[in-house]
A and B are shown apart, each in its own frame.
Chain A
């Protein structure tokens, strides 16, 4: 079936299999492989995107459900060739190791700071509790969030 949607502000369309997730469509059909396929069951947050401005796991959205909606992926955060402040902070704080969780965490952090520019440590932990990281033990990710919020 054919779907039309907006990704990172651009109108896009694709032919998808009806059972496909938005994640698969973004990665394999629409040219946005930044969102990652780590668990495909909403347990790790690596595929986090904004769907009509709300943070969701794109693996749990049926591609067909995104028809007519607005999606922002990690590829859409940088503006005019400048990194988003969250992206800069993740690099500076050493919050990236293998980086597979990073796109999802960057999107989740950008969403957190959008709603709460000065989160407490507990608020950071709770807001990022849907994003698993296997490499860092999270310490430098928290540093990055504080750095980006400052």
Chain B
């Protein structure tokens, strides 16, 4: 196993092009579990901790840029939380403080888990993922980026630079159901954003977190629509029927929160 530690984005992209099999590691909250539990033995690891270009966030008009290395703890800080409240609420549900200090938005995108907590809030905010390689940059809508459980369209020589989201005026919230009151993987989760329309996205209720949109005059039927859009399964964390049921309740409550 090799550990590659680039000091700049340019070097990172070059290394990724040379060693496409290298697995990127940022906060380590997913990759290290695979290593520690002996589930993965990558030939090489690409340590992105020293790549300054991936850090931080910035605002331009109604859009906010989130660097791939932005941590959940940073997403909970007041200024950013005011711009992206659902993402901040989602970040507060991630692990404990240690995980929130270390886990990143870029990592959540890269893992592309159906349960990724940052993904529903990003989906309702029209997230566009920026990818880069030595060949150049491209932007992919988050809903197109996610293609299956832990699968995305990232090419083997590409890295995630970050994500751009709509931070225009809206009401939004995030909720996550788990069997205990802290530190859970979502049994099911929901983000809702209300501006000119209704935009809901759910996690852990289908192969990928999924966006459901509707006109404002469809409020009454929206909980049912969201539940029907889901394709949940039974697993160790919950049953399909419970997930569908919970999605209906969560959507109804989220609408109450965002409309009243």
Contacts and interface: CB of A to CB of B under 8 A. Distances in A.
Find out whether A and B make contact in their complex, taking CB atoms under 8 A apart as touching. Answer: yes
Interface of A: 1, 17-19, 21, 40-43, 45, 48, 54-57, 59-62, 64-65, 67, 108, 111, 126-131
Most buried by B among A48, A54, A128: A54
A56 B45 contact: no
Contact of A61 (B2, B45, B102): B102
Contacts of B37: 40-41
Nearest to A104: B98
A17 B1 CA distance: 8
A54 B101 contact: yes
Contacts of A126: 97, 182
Contact of A129 (B1, B41, B47, B97): B97
Given A19-B1, A65-B25, A60 B101 contact: no
A60 B28 contact: yes
Contacts, number: 92
B97 A61 contact: no
B29 interface: yes
A101 B180 CA distance: 19
A42 B29 contact: yes
Interface residues of B, number: 27
A115 B3 CA distance: 34
A55 B72 CA distance: 13
B216 interface: no
Which 8 pairs across A and B sit closest by C-beta, in order of nearness? A130-B96, A129-B182, A18-B1, A40-B36, A64-B3, A60-B32, A60-B28, A41-B33
30 contacts: A18-B2, A18-B3, A19-B35, A19-B45, A21-B35, A21-B36, A41-B33, A42-B32, A42-B33, A42-B98, A42-B99, A45-B96, A48-B98, A54-B102, A56-B102, A57-B98, A60-B28, A60-B29, A60-B102, A62-B3, A65-B47, A67-B5, A108-B98, A129-B96, A129-B183, A130-B96, A130-B98, A130-B99, A130-B182, A131-B96
